[in-house]
Amino acid sequence: MNTFVLHGNIVHTPALSELKLCTDSYAVCENGLCAGVFDVLPEKFSHLPVYDFGDMIIIPGYVDLHLHAPQYQNCGLGMDMELLDWLEAQTFPTEARFADISYADMEYTRFVEDLLKSATTRACVFGTIHKESTMLLMEKLEASGLCSMVGKVSMDRNCPDNLKEDDSAAALESVESWLDEIDGRFSSTAPIITPRFVPSCSNELLEGLGVLSERHNLPIQSHLSENLSEIDWVQELCPDCPNYASVYDKFGLMGDRTIMAHCVHLTEDEMDIIHDRGTYIAHCPTSNVNIRSGIAPVRKFLDRGLNVGLGTDVSGGHTLDMAEVIRQALGLSKLLWRLGSEEFKPLKTVEAFYLATRGGGSFFGKVGAFEPGYEFDAVVIDDRDINTRGEQDLEKRFEKIIYLSSSWNVCAKFVAGRRLF
C-alpha cells in the first residue's frame, strides 16, 4: 500500500534555513509521492487509510551519501591512525575477506539489518572489488526496502595483491560484467561507478570508468582531499594535474551525478571545479575526527553554492546513526569558527538537518522533504524517553531529537511510500 495518510507532528526543511513545524498535522502519500501536509485532512483524502502516530514526531528519512558496507564490522577500530595507515592496517585486510561469499553473506546481513533499524532511508554505499559479494549486498538492500546506490569498487594499483585487479582492462571488464549481471534485477537498488580514490586507480582505469559512466548513464562516487598525506601522494602520482579534483575532472568523473566524499582540504580552484560541474560533497564529520583528517569548511561550501550532504563514512565514522553525524557536523562547524575561521559562521541545527535530508536527498531526485511531488520517505520518532519533562513546544522537541535521539527512537519507517516497519 503506497497511498495513505500519516498523522503526527511533522517537521521538515523546505529550504536550508527554514524549519517547518506542523503540529497535529497530516502528511498525505499518493502512489509513493507526497501530496502535501495539512492542518486538517482535506475531504478528498478522507477515504484514505490513516497511520495515526499521535504525539510522535515525523521527519523525512535521513540520506547517507557515503558509507562502506564491508567496513561495518570495523567500527571503533584503528581510530588512533590516520587515513593511509588505517587503510593498510584495518580496511584492506577486512575487505579482502569478502572474496568469501559465505563471509560476505554473514557480514552484509548484519549491516543491512542495522541500517534498516536506523533513521536512514537512502544511502550511497561502497562494496568491495568482488563482483559476487557486491551483488549479494545489492540483493540484501533490495529486500530491505531501502533505496540505495551500490558500487563495485575499482582498484588496480597501490593496494594489497589480494585486492588489486590485474590491470585496468581487467578492472573495467569486471565492472562491465557486474553491470550486465544486475541489469533489470532491482527496483530500489541502483549501481554507481566507484573508483576508490586516485592513489589506487591508474589513469587508464579512471579514464575507462569515466567512459563507462557516460555510456551507461551512471552516477559516480569516490573520495577527494580527505587527508594531507593523501593529497601529497596524488600530487606525486599525477604531476601533470594542478590539484586533486582536476585529476577526476580530466577523466570525466566530475559532474552533477558525482559524489566526492570528505573534501576537507579543497583549494579555491577545486571548489570552482566542484561548483561548475555541480558535483556533490559528502561531508563526513565523524570520520574526519576519528582518523584525524581535519575539519571541512562546510559554511564556505554553502556560501559558494556547492551541493552538500552528509555521510557516516562507516567505518572511518564509528556509527550508522545519522543523528550523530548531524551533531558532529554542528560541533565541528562551531570549533572551526571559534579556532580561527570567524568569517564562516557555525551551522545552525536546521541547516545540518537540511543537509541530512533534502541536501543529500537531492542526489536521488525529489527526496528529503514533505513537499508535493517529493518521494514519500518518512521516519517516525518516539521522543518520550528524551522528552522527560513532557515539553510541548515542537521546536524544542525537534532540537532534542537532533541532539539526543538514536536508532532506538525510530518506531516506523517509510520509503517511497512503502512501510518498512
Residue pLDDT, tens place only, 282-298: 999 999 999 999 999 99
SS3 150: strand
Query: Do 334 and 375 have their domain in common?
Result: no
In tens, the pLDDT along 223-252 reads 999 999 999 999 999 999 999 999 999 999
Strand partners, 413: 379
Cell numbers for 84, please give them.
593511509
Query: Do 107 and 215 have their domain in common?
Result: yes
Query: Do 101 and 13 have their domain in common?
Result: no
- pLDDT value at residue 387: 87
Query: Do 268 and 278 have their domain in common?
Result: yes
Rounded Cα gap, residues 167 and 372, in angstroms:
48
175: domain CATH number is: 3.20.20.140
Query: Do 270 and 285 have their domain in common?
Result: yes
Strand partners, 281: 260, 308
Contact 413, 380 (CB under 8 A): yes
Query: Do 249 and 395 have their domain in common?
Result: no
Contact 285, 309 (CB under 8 A): no
- Report the domain count for the chain: 2
Domain stop point among 364, 382, 407 = 364
- pLDDT value at residue 271: 98
Residue 343 pLDDT level (bands cut at 50, 70, 90): confident
116-155 exposure pattern, b = at least 16 Cβ within 10 A, e = fewer: bbbbbbbbbbbbbbbbebbbbbbbbbbebbbbbbbbbbbb
Query: Do 20 and 104 have their domain in common?
Result: no
Range(s) of the domain holding residue 398: 4-60+369-419
In tens, the pLDDT along 28-52 reads 999 999 999 999 999 999 999 999 9
Contact 209, 220 (CB under 8 A): yes
386: domain CATH number is: 2.30.40.10
Mean pLDDT score of the chain: 97
Average pLDDT over residues 349-366: 98
- pLDDT of residue 10 exceeding 80, the answer is yes
- pLDDT value at residue 226: 98
Domain stop point among 346, 364, 382 = 364
Contact 122, 364 (CB under 8 A): yes
Query: Do 286 and 249 have their domain in common?
Result: yes
Residue 254 pLDDT level (bands cut at 50, 70, 90): very high
Query: Do 53 and 97 have their domain in common?
Result: no
Residue 145 pLDDT level (bands cut at 50, 70, 90): very high
Query: Do 260 and 322 have their domain in common?
Result: yes
- pLDDT of residue 109 exceeding 80, the answer is yes
Residue 61 pLDDT level (bands cut at 50, 70, 90): very high
Query: Do 51 and 110 have their domain in common?
Result: no
Query: Do 339 and 383 have their domain in common?
Result: no
Average pLDDT over residues 102-114: 98
